């Protein structure tokens, strides 16, 4: 039987790694020879979860692993630019995801299951139930970890009631204390002490087009904002370089405090005043605190997109 | 509460009409104010089913119906060109479908449920179960009708075991004899006696690009192939006109015998010899019988696409 690769997105987070492992397990239980793979390094947070529940990381999807493979299952993403290189050489037979659909096209009908919830693992819990397959304790732990990660322990506005209920159910199967484990896992991922300025700006960065403007928003999660701000001068210099390279209108570096659920932003670029306008704030030394803001997807990007789209750069 | 429109594809078939009605019912049961609509005339087969189970056809989605509506649910399709005009003015919040995904993009996460089965109604049956909602007898009849229609009473190669099981379960709820009702419904839809040559060629026609070649494949279902072939001269003349208008390499008119599960094809265009080659047949008076062939999607289009893609037009 030929192997199907199950893969999350590039620059993988805990949901992409956990969901690949867990869905590959479910497919194997259902008689499909499925192998989980990853498209990048395992981050510290995910490493903590894998170590805690004693599960091995998926192999990196290199040429050897791809050898002879014809079929793919995508988890936690669908857009081509976030996916395996040369995806057009494969047949995508399934997608399990919780993002918008874009840059995705198939030649044949497929199984596509997307739901507007906070985490892929929440959907996977349903699929286990629909297929009457029990979830092993260690995999329940990974699924719970994915929900904690995507929802920042239920504090993100992307988190739904379904995610909370799923995490509780999985915590019970995994026999783990959700709150204390969750905080430790997030802290493990939020350790920025060994990061360079360039690391901080590329761990999780996205570029957005708004009218004639190009915006870059990089984000890190931390338990110690002041510690990250120690690198502010170096970070600012690097931001200015990237602004010139990519011809950005503005670069926003978001440092999210996962304990207090606030974010401190560092803003560089000619259009910094528009960021002040968008959030009704004043920047001091390029910096401001956004109270209660933790989600780039729901609370930062849409606000900036609106501001920059309506007021074109002159 | 604002209304959500539930719509199948343009040129609607029984699955598109039935699934819009049935899914709107389910959404209303779940507290969403959903209204089924149609994007074209109800065909004879669908009219038979609606009349038999005493269900009203959905309203046509005209400007009045669209007034004030912001959200859409798509059933039985996803591609923009098959969908409501100016779809970009609406927010697509759900899709229930069994086709490939293409020409589809959203700004936000959504509920997207596609499965590689023969009919949307087969997926809807699962959704009723997952949501613990009972299916009323008349709607079960419509869902059964949709499966009979899409599968040509289980003879199409697109039909899966799941479709057969779903149809049997629905027939039991609807308290209807699957075989005899099914044959009568297909016959009602297969009455071509009042169709003009232009009708026959446009009831269900699709254009395909294969390399530098453009192919048109029109299909009708009938219980009396000879009756349809009486119009062959008029049909051939009209095919030649369309070939010139659309600059086609070949035009294939497929007359499918739903009793014997064969198809008679009428072929016009400069590249008719490639059609002979593809199916290993000889055309006599532009005509040949394809034994056991009923599905354009699975048995005709792929064979021609391969032939025309590998041997480019000189």
Mean pLDDT score, A243-248: 94
Judged by a CB distance cut-off of 8 A, whether residue B103 touches chain A is: yes
SS3 A79: coil
Q: Which of residues 126-145 of A touch B (CB under 8 A)?
A: 130
Mean pLDDT score, B194-209: 88
Would the pLDDT of A311 be above 60? no
> What pLDDT does residue A193 have?
83
d(CA B118, CA B98): 7
Would the pLDDT of A24 be above 70? yes
Q: Do domains A4-188 and A197-309 have the same CATH topology?
A: no
Would the pLDDT of B138 be above 80? yes
Q: Chain A interface, mutation test: which of B99, B114, B120, most A Cβ atoms within 10 Å?
A: B114
- The half-sphere exposure of A306 on its side-chain side, counting CA atoms within 13 A, is 8
> What pLDDT does residue A91 have?
94
B111-114 and A111-114 strand pairing: antiparallel
Would the pLDDT of B1 be above 80? no
d(CA A158, CA A21): 23
Confidence of residue B312 (pLDDT cuts 50, 70, 90): very low
| Domain locations in chain A as residue ranges | 4-188, 197-309
Q: Are the beta carbons of A151 and A163 closer than 8 angstroms? A: yes
Sheet holding B91-97, edge to edge: A59-60, A34-38, A4-7, A71-75, A91-97, A111-114, B111-114, B91-97, B71-75, B4-10, B34-39, B59-60
Backbone angles phi, psi at A173, to 5 degrees: -65, -40
Distance from CA of A99 to the nearest CA of B (A): 5
The nearest alpha carbon in chain A to B98 belongs to A109
Distance from CA of A310 to the nearest CA of B (A): 18
Q: Chain A interface, mutation test: which of B109, B129, B305, most A Cβ atoms within 10 Å?
A: B109
d(CA B92, CA B81): 15
d(CA B226, CA B247): 29
Judged by a CB distance cut-off of 8 A, whether residue A110 touches chain B is: yes
Judged by a CB distance cut-off of 8 A, whether residue B102 touches chain A is: yes
With contacts defined as CB-CB under 8 Å, which chain A residues touch B110?
Answer: 100-101, 114, 116
**A291 compared with B212, residue with greater pLDDT:** A291
For the segment A273-293, what is each residue's pLDDT rounded down to a tens digit? 999 999 999 999 999 999 999
Backbone angles phi, psi at A293, to 5 degrees: -100, 125
Backbone angles phi, psi at B160, to 5 degrees: -110, 170
Percent of chain A, pLDDT > 70?
98
Contact B112 A113 (CB under 8 A): yes
Q: Are the beta carbons of A252 and A275 closer than 8 angstroms? A: yes
Cα–Cα distances in angstroms (integers) from residue B134 to residues A283, B16, B50, B124, B170, in the given order: 58, 21, 20, 12, 11
Judged by a CB distance cut-off of 8 A, whether residue B115 touches chain A is: yes
Q: Among residues A181, A152, A157, A178, which one has the least CA distance to residue A166?
A: A178
d(CA B258, CA B252): 18
Task: Convert B76-93 to b/e letters by CB count within 10 Å (16 or more is b).
Answer: bbbbeebbbeeeeebebb
Contact B105 A108 (CB under 8 A): no
Would the pLDDT of B253 be above 90? yes
Distance from CA of B103 to the nearest CA of A (A): 7
Judged by a CB distance cut-off of 8 A, whether residue A109 touches chain B is: yes
Nearest Cβ partner for A110 among B104, B109, B116: B116
* DSSP code for A299: I
- Annotate B48-65 with DSSP letters as a single string: HHHHHTT-PPPEE--HHH
d(CA B84, CA B88): 9
Poorest-pLDDT segment among A12-26, A123-137, B49-63, B206-220: B206-220
For the segment A25-72, what is each residue's pLDDT rounded down to a tens digit? 999 999 999 999 999 999 999 999 999 999 999 999 999 999 999 999
- CATH domain A197-309 topology: Diaminopimelate Epimerase; Chain A, domain 1 (3.10.310)
Report the alpha-carbon angle A190-A52-A96, nearest 5: 80
The nearest alpha carbon in chain A to B109 belongs to A100
- The half-sphere exposure of A36 on its side-chain side, counting CA atoms within 13 A, is 24
Q: Are the beta carbons of A5 and A37 closer than 8 angstroms? A: yes
The nearest alpha carbon in chain A to B77 belongs to A109
Mean pLDDT score, A123-129: 97
d(CA B125, CA B167): 9
With contacts defined as CB-CB under 8 Å, which chain A residues touch B108?
Answer: 100, 116
d(CA A16, CA A75): 7
Judged by a CB distance cut-off of 8 A, whether residue A100 touches chain B is: yes
d(CA B80, CA A102): 13
With contacts defined as CB-CB under 8 Å, which chain B residues touch A98?
Answer: 109
Would the pLDDT of B240 be above 80? yes
Chain A to chain B Cβ contacts (< 8 Å): 61
> What pLDDT does residue B313 have?
38
Helix (H) or strand (E) holding A217: strand A213-222
* Paired residues of A213 in beta bridges: A210
Would the pLDDT of A314 be above 80? no
Q: Write down the mean pLDDT value for chain A.
A: 93
Distance from CA of A234 to the nearest CA of B (A): 35
Q: Among residues B112, B110, B111, B86, which one has the least CA distance to residue B97?
A: B112
Mean pLDDT score, A70-75: 97
For the segment B263-299, what is each residue's pLDDT rounded down to a tens digit? 999 999 999 999 999 999 999 999 999 999 999 988 9
Would the pLDDT of B314 be above 60? no
| Global ipTM | 0.85
> What pLDDT does residue B98 have?
96
Q: Among residues A198, A215, A245, A189, which one has the least CA distance to residue A309?
A: A215
Contact B109 A98 (CB under 8 A): yes
The nearest alpha carbon in chain A to B127 belongs to A130
> Under CATH, domain A4-188 is a member of which superfamily?
inorganic pyrophosphatase (n-terminal core) (3.90.1640.10)
Confidence of residue A313 (pLDDT cuts 50, 70, 90): very low
B205-210 and B213-222 strand pairing: antiparallel
Confidence of residue A310 (pLDDT cuts 50, 70, 90): low
Any known ligand binding at B99?
A: no
> What pLDDT does residue A302 have?
84
Judged by a CB distance cut-off of 8 A, whether residue A184 touches chain B is: no
**A234 compared with B314, residue with greater pLDDT:** A234
Start-end of H helices in chain B: 14-29, 44-52, 63-66, 120-130, 137-151, 161-174, 178-189, 197-202, 225-229, 232-246, 272-279, 301-310
């Amino acid at each position: 039987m030929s192997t199907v690769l199950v893969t999350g997105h590039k620059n993988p987070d805990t949901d992409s790694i956990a969901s690949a492992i867990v869905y590959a397990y479910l497919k194997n239980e259902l008689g499909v020879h499925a192998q989980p793979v990853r498209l990048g390094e395992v981050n510290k947070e995910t490493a903590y979860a894998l170590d805690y529940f004693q599960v091995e990381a998926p192999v990196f999807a290199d040429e050897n692993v791809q050898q002879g493979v014809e079929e793919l299952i995508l988890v936690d993403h669908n857009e081509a630019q976030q996916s395996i290189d040369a995806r057009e050489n494969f047949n995508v037979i399934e997608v399990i995801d919780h993002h918008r659909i874009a840059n995705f096209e198939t030649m044949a009908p497929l199984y596509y299951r997307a739901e507007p919830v906070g985490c892929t693992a929440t959907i996977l819990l349903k699929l286990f139930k629909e297929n009457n397959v029990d979830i092993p304790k260690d995999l329940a732990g990974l699924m719970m970890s994915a929900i904690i990660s995507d929802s920042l322990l239920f504090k993100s506005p992307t988190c739904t009631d379904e995610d909370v209920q799923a995490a509780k159910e999985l915590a019970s199967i995994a026999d783990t204390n959700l709150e204390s484990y969750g905080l430790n896992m997030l802290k493990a991922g939020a350790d920025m002490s060994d990061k360079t300025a360039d690391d901080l700006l590329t761990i999780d960065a996205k570029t957005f087009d708004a009218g004639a403007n190009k915006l870059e928003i990089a984000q890190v999660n931390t338990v110690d904002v002041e510690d990250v701000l120690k690198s502010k001068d170096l970070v600012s210099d690097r931001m200015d370089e990237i602004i010139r390279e990519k011809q950005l209108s503005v670069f926003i570096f978001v440092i999210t405090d996962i304990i207090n659920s606030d974010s401190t932003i560092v803003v560089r670029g000619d259009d910094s005043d528009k960021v002040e306008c968008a959030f009704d704030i004043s920047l001091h030394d390029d910096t401001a605190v956004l109270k209660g803001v933790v989600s780039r997807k729901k609370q930062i990007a849409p606000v900036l997109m609106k501001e920059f789209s309506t007021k074109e750069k002159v």
